[in-house]
Structure 1
Amino acid sequence: MYIGVDYYPEQWPESRWPEDVRLMKELGVNVVRLAEFGWQLMEPQEGKYDFSLYDRAIKLLTENGIKIVLGTPTATPPAWLIQKHPEILPTDENGVQISFGARRHYTVNSKVFREYTKKIVTEMASHYGQHPDIIGWQTDNEYGHEKSDRSYGEEDREAFQVWLQKKYGSLEQLNKEWGTVFWSQTYTDWAQIPVPRKVYQEHNPSMLLDFDRFCADAYTSYNRLQTDCLRANIRSGQFLTHNFVYTDQAINQWDMSEDLDYVAYDNYPVWGGLAEPVSPSAIAHQHDLCRGTKNGKGYWVMEELSGAQGWSKIGYLPRPGHIKLWTYQAISRGAEAIVYFRWRAAQFGTEEFCHGILDHDGIPKRKYNEVKEVISSLKVHGDDWIASKFEAQAGVYYDPENAWAWNIQPQSSAFSHRAELLRHYAPAHKLNVATDAVNSRSDLSAYKAVIVPIYFLESPEFTEKLKAYAQNGGTVVFSYRSGVKKPNNFVTGATLPGELTEMTGIRINEYESLQTGQSNSTAGTAGSLKGLESSAEVWCDLIEPVTAEVLAEYRNCFYEGTAAVTKNQYGKGTVYYIGTALEEELLTALYKEIFAEAGIETVETEEGVEAVRRGLFLSIMNHTVGRSASVTLPEGEWMDCASGQTVQKTLQLDALGAVLLKKSK
C-alpha cells in the first residue's frame, strides 16, 4: 500500500532536499504528492514553461524509490494572469470581486480561465505524462472549499442563463417551475434572470436550488476539462483523482467522480480554533461518503492531518496515538493510501502554522516517530487489509441537493444539516454497524436497513426505491421534516409526509419549529423506548397515526400525548418515523431495537471505542483521551497483526490506542 507525504520542495533550499528524502526513506514513505500550487514556477511568464525545479525534485525522489502524484496547479492562478485578465476573479454575493492574494481566486465560468487551464494542464501532462514513476494526478485542489463554490459575477450570470435555457427550454416552463407569479417575479426575457446576489429579504428558493445545481455542474464541467487534457497526454497507468472536501458546498462529488479513476479526501479531524477534534462518528461519516462516491471503491486520503493545524488560529495539538488512530480509522473504512499533510511546517506564507510530521526546525521528533511506527505496523498485513471488502449492513442517505435545500431554508436557528444528519448516523457508529452512504443512484437490495435522516427535498426516484425496498422486507427509518419538498423546491400540496404517507402510516397536520434554547420533552410508550424520556429539540412533527404504532409521545406542551415516534408495517417491511430531535440515550435505544429486528449485527463497546470489520480484519480504536478500554472480541481466535500474538475473548486498549486484528480461526 502507499503511505506518503505532501511535499513542497519549492518552499525549501535545494540543499535541504537530500536530507528530506533521506528522512522520508528512513520513515518508510513510498509516495509524495507535489506541485498542486506551483503554477507560477511552471509558467513564470505567459507561454514560457519551466518545469526544471520539479524535474530535479522528482528525479531525487524517484531515484530513491519514491513514487509521485502530481497536482495540477489551477487552484492558484499566478499574479501575471490576474493582472492581464482580472475578470477571472470570482464575485461574492454582495457583488464584490474577490482579490488576488490567497487561493481559489477564479470562477470556473470564466472562458478565459478555462483556456489558460487547458494550456497549463496540457503542457504539464505532455511533460510528465509518460514518466514511469509518476503514478497519478490530482486535479486542482479541494474544489469549492472556503466558499469558492459559488460566484456571482456577470460571466456567471450569463452562464447561469444559458444553463437554465438548456434545462427548461422556455421561459414559460421556468416561470411555472419557479412559481415566479409570487412577488411579481415573472421573467419575459432570459437576460432578466439574476444570480442570487444580496437582496433585502430572501431569494426565491426554487431559483436558489437551481443556482446551486448550476454551480455544481460548472465545477463538474471544469474538472472534465482537466481530465480530458490529462487523458489525451498521459500513459494509461497513471490514475486521475481529486481531493474532495465534504462540507455540503455546491459541488456534486458523485457527478464529478465519473471522470475520475479514484476519489480522494482530505481528512482534518481538527482545525484552527477548535479546542478538540470533531466526534469520531463525524470523521467516520466523511469516510463513508468518500467510499460511497465511487460506489464502494477504495479511495486515497490525500491529506491526513499529522500536526496542529491553523492559519491565524492554531487548533488542538493531536495527542500521542492520534496519528495512528486516524490512519487506522481511514483504512478501516476503505482508504487504500494515506498521504500525511504535511512533510514539514512552512516558515512563511498563510499556512506557516499548519504543522507537519516535521516542525519548522526540520528535526525528527515525536510525530516523526509515531508515523514511523504506523508505517512499520502496516508492512506485513497492510496490502491484505486494503484488499479486503468492506461489507455494509445499513445504508445512510446523503444527497447534496437535500443539503442545499436545507441550507437555503433551515427553518430553525437550532438546525444544522450536518449536526442533524450525524444525530442519526451516530447511533449506528456507536453500535459499530457497518454503513454505506447511499442516494438515489444506489442499489438498496444488499442492506438490512436504510436510514433516511431529514429527507426534506424528496427525490421521486429514491422514494420509489424505498417503497419497493420496504415492501420486499427492508427496514426504513425516516426523521422529522421528511417528504416536505418537491425536486423544484416547492412544498408538496399533499398532507405531510407527502409521498411517504402510505409508507409511514401517519399524517402530520401541524408542526412546530423550535429555536435555539427551546425544547419540549418526550416519553417512550412501547418497545425499547418504554420508560425512557428525552428532550425534544429543533423540530416537532405532530404525528397522527393511521396504521402506525406509537413508540413515543410528547410531554409538557400543548400537544401532550401526541405521537412523536412511530413504527409501521409496510408490505413485508417496517418503516419508522422519528418526529423530533431526540437525545442520544433514547435514540440509541431505538436504533438498537431497529437493528436487532432487521437482523443487523451490532457490537457494543465502551464509550469512544470503534470497531470495524473489513474481511477477515477487525480494527479497534479507542478515541478517548486519558482512559483505557476493555473490548470483548467476537468469537474466534484473533492475531494482532503488528505483534503476531494471539488474542482471544478480551482486548485491553490504551487511551488513543489502535490495533489491527486478523481472524485466524
Structure 2
Amino acid sequence: MYIGVDYYPEQWPESRWPEDVTLMKELGVNVVRIAEFGWQLMEPEEGRYDFSLYDRAIKLLTENGIKVVLGTPTATPPAWLIQKHPEILPTDENGVQISFGARRHYTVNSRIFHEYTKKIVTEMAMHYGQHPDIIGWQTDNEYGHEKSDRSYGEEDRQSFQAWLEKKYGTLDQLNENWGTVFWSQTYTDWSQIPVPRKVLQEHNPSLLLDFDRFCADAYTSYNKLQTDCLRENIRDDQFLTHNFVYTDQAINQWDMAEDLDYVSYDNYPVWGGLAEPVSPSAIAHQHDLCRGTKNGKGYWVMEELSGAQGWSKIGYLPRPGHIKLWTYQAISRGAEAIVYFRWRAAHFGTEEFCHGILDHDGIPKRKYNEVKEVIDSLKEHGDDWIASKYEAQAAVYYDTENAWAWNIQPQSSAFSHRQELLRHYTPAHKLNVATDAVNSRSSLEGYKVVFVPIYFLENPIFTEKLKRYAENGGTVVFSYRSGVKKPNNFVTGQTLPGELTEMTGITINEYESLQTGQQNKVNGVKGSLSGLESAATVWCDLIDPVTAEVLAEYDDCFYKGTAAVTKNKYGKGTVYYIGTALEETMLTALYKEIFQEAGAEIIETQNGVEVVRREKFLSAMNHSVDRPAEIALPEGNYIDCATNQKIKGALKLAPLASILLKKE
C-alpha cells in the first residue's frame, strides 16, 4: 500500500532535501507526488527545457526507496507564455479577462495553449517515461477548481458555436431544442450564438445547460490531449490519473475517467474560514463519488489534509485523531493510496498557511507522530484491507447534468443542490448501510434500494433502468421535484412527476416553493412515520395518490391533509416519493423501515459513529470530538488489526478514535 506526501522541493533550499527525505523514511513514506506546479522551472524560456532540479530531487528520493508520481505542470502556465500569448487567459462572465497571478489561468479552449501543453507534456514524458521508480502521472491539477471550469471569451464563443453545430447539425434543430421563439431569440447564423455572459435578466436555460456540457467536453478533450502525449512516451506500467474535485463544476468526471487508469481525489474535510469540518456523511459521499467514477474501482487520495488549511483565512485545526480517522474513512470506502498534503508548510506564496505534516519550522511534532501511527497501524493488514471487496447494498443517484440544471434554476432561495443531495444521503450513512454513487451508465443489479434524490433533469435511460429494477422487485426512493425537466432542459408537458407517474402511483397538480425562513409541517400517518412530526422546508409537492398509499401528510396552509410522503407497489417492487425536505429524524425513521423491508443490513450507532464492512474487515470511526461511543458489533469474534487484541460483542471508541477489526 502506498502512503506518501505532496512534496515541493523547489520551495526549499537543496541543502534541506536530505533531512526531508530522512524524516520521510523514518515516517514510513513510500511515495511522493511532485512537479505539478513546476512549468517555469522545467521550461524557463520557450523551447529550452531544464529538468535538472527535479532530476536531483527524484534521484535523492528514489535512492532512499521512495517512489514518485509526477504531475504535469499545466495548471500554472509561466509568465513568459502569458506575456507572449495573453489570449490564453480565461474570461469571466462579465467579459473581463482574468489576470496572470494565481493558477488555472488558461481557457481550456485555447488552441495555442494546447500546442504549448503538448510540448511540455511530451518533453516530460520523454525525459521521465522510462524511469523505473516513477510509478505514475497526474494530469494537470484539479481541473475546473476555483471557478476555472467556465470561460466566456471570444475563442470560447467560437468553440461553443462549433460544438453546437456538430451536436445539432442545423440551426432549425437548435432553435427547436432551445425554444428560441421565446423572447425573439431565434438564431439565423451560428455566429449569432453567444456564450452566456451577464445579461439584464437570465439566459435561456437550454443554452446554459448546453454551455455546461460544452465546457465539460472541452476539459475531457484537453485531458485526453495530455494522456495521449503521455501514453506515447511512457512505460505501460506507469499509471495515469487526475485529482478531481467533486463540487458540481462543469466537469464530467465519468467521461474524463475513461482516459485514466485510476481516479484520484483531494480530500479536505475542512478549509479556510470553516469553524469545523463538514459532516462525516459529506466526506463519505465524496468517497462514494470517487469510487463510482471508475465503476467501483479503487482510487487514490492524492491530497489528504494533514493540518490547518487556508489562504487568506485559516480553517479549523484538526484535532488529535482526525488524521487517522479521515485516513481510515478513505480506505474504508475504497482508497488504495493516501498522499498527505503537504509535507511542510511553505514560507511564501498563496498557500503559506496551508499547514502540513511539518509546520514552518520543519520540526516533527504531533501531526508527524500521528501519521507515523497511521502508517505503522497499516503495515500488517493494509494491503489485505484495500484488496477486500466493498459490497454496497444501496445506490444513490448523482448526475452532473442534473446538478447543472439545478444550479441554473434552483427555484428557491432555500435550495442548495449539495445540501439537498446530502439530506437524502445522510440517513443511509447514519444507519451504516454501504452505498454506491450511480448514474445512467451504472448497472442497478444487486442493490436492495436505489435512492434518486432531487431527480429534476429526468434521464430517459436511467428512468428505464429504474422501471425494470422496480418491476423485478427493487425498491426506489424519489424525492420532491422529480421528473420535471427533459434532457434539453424543457419542462415536461405531462402532469408531474412526468415519466415517473406510473412508477410512483401519484400525480402532482400543484406545488409550493418555500423560501429561506418559510416552512410547513408534516405529520406521519402510517408505518414507521406514524406519530412523527417534521418541519417541511425548501419545497412542497402537493401529492394526489392514485395507487399509492399515504405515509405522511402536510399539516399547514390550505393543503393541510394533502399527502407529503407516499409508497406504491410497482411490479414486484416498491416506489416511495418524498414530496418535501424532511428533517433528519423523520427521514431516518423512514429509511430504516425501507432498508428493513428490502433486506439491507443496518448497523445502528450513535450520532457521529461510522462503521464500514468490507468482507472480513470492519472499520469503525467516532467522528465526535468530545463523546465516547460504544458499538454493538455484528455477530462474531474480531481482532484489532493494530494490537491483535480479541474483541467480541461491544466495542468502545474514544472521541475521534478509529479502529480496524478483522473477523476471525
TM-score, normalisation: structure 1: 1.00
- Which whole-Å CA distance do the structure 2 matches of 1:595 and 1:473 have between them? 14
Shift in Å, 1:446: 1.1
CA-to-aligned-CA distance 1:92-151 (integer Å, 9 cap, x gap): 000000000000000010000000000000000000000000000000000000000000
SS in 1 for 2:488: coil
Gaps of 5+ in 1: none
Residue 200 (structure 2) aligns with: 200
Residue 80 (structure 2) aligns with: 80
1:133 is matched by which residue type in structure 2? D
Residue 663 (structure 2) aligns with: 663
Residue 270 (structure 2) aligns with: 270
- Which whole-Å CA distance do the structure 1 matches of 2:497 and 2:631 have between them? 42
Residue 370 (structure 1) aligns with: 370
- Give the fraction of aligned pairs with identical amino acids, expressed as a percent: 86
- Which whole-Å CA distance do the structure 1 matches of 2:461 and 2:101 have between them? 44
Residue 191 (structure 1) aligns with: 191
1:526 is matched by which residue type in structure 2? K
1:490 is matched by which residue type in structure 2? F
Residues 125-524 of structure 1 aligned to structure 2 (within 5 Å): 125-524=125-524
- Which whole-Å CA distance do the structure 1 matches of 2:390 and 2:553 have between them? 38
CA-to-aligned-CA distance 1:182-211 (integer Å, 9 cap, x gap): 000000000000000000000000000000
SS in 1 for 2:147: coil
Residues 1:25 and 2:25 aligned together: yes
Residue 539 (structure 1) aligns with: 539
1:652 is matched by which residue type in structure 2? K
1:382 is matched by which residue type in structure 2? G
1:632 is matched by which residue type in structure 2? A
Residue 16 (structure 2) aligns with: 16
- Which whole-Å CA distance do the structure 1 matches of 2:611 and 2:557 have between them? 40
Residues 1:42 and 2:42 aligned together: yes
- Which whole-Å CA distance do the structure 2 matches of 1:182 and 1:651 have between them? 63
1:13 is matched by which residue type in structure 2? P
- Which whole-Å CA distance do the structure 2 matches of 1:615 and 1:243 have between them? 28
2:430 is matched by which residue type in structure 1? K
1:491 is matched by which residue type in structure 2? V
Shift in Å, 1:626: 1.1
Shift in Å, 1:575: 0.1
CA-to-aligned-CA distance 1:531-558 (integer Å, 9 cap, x gap): 0000000000000000000000000211
2:220 is matched by which residue type in structure 1? T
- Which whole-Å CA distance do the structure 2 matches of 1:565 and 1:70 have between them? 51
Shift in Å, 1:445: 1.1
SS in 2 for 1:146: helix
Residue 636 (structure 1) aligns with: 636
Runs of 4+ residues over 2 Å off in structure 1: none
Residue 70 (structure 2) aligns with: 70
Shift in Å, 1:318: 0.1
CA-to-aligned-CA distance 1:211-239 (integer Å, 9 cap, x gap): 00000000000000000000000001100
Number of equivalences: 664
- Which whole-Å CA distance do the structure 2 matches of 1:486 and 1:652 have between them? 50
1:631 is matched by which residue type in structure 2? I
- Which whole-Å CA distance do the structure 2 matches of 1:106 and 1:384 have between them? 42
SS in 1 for 2:274: coil
- Which whole-Å CA distance do the structure 1 matches of 2:401 and 2:364 have between them? 45
2:210 is matched by which residue type in structure 1? D
- Which whole-Å CA distance do the structure 2 matches of 1:100 and 1:553 have between them? 56
1:548 is matched by which residue type in structure 2? A
- Which whole-Å CA distance do the structure 2 matches of 1:617 and 1:410 have between them? 41
1:424 is matched by which residue type in structure 2? H
Shift in Å, 1:629: 0.5
Shift in Å, 1:497: 0.1
Shift in Å, 1:176: 0.1
Residue 550 (structure 2) aligns with: 550
Shift in Å, 1:310: 0.1
Gaps of 5+ in 2: none
- Which whole-Å CA distance do the structure 1 matches of 2:508 and 2:292 have between them? 33
RMSD over aligned Cα atoms: 0.3
- Which whole-Å CA distance do the structure 2 matches of 1:2 and 1:644 have between them? 23
Residues 587-602 of structure 1 aligned to structure 2 (within 5 Å): 587-602=587-602
Shift in Å, 1:75: 0.1
- Which whole-Å CA distance do the structure 2 matches of 1:99 and 1:338 have between them? 34
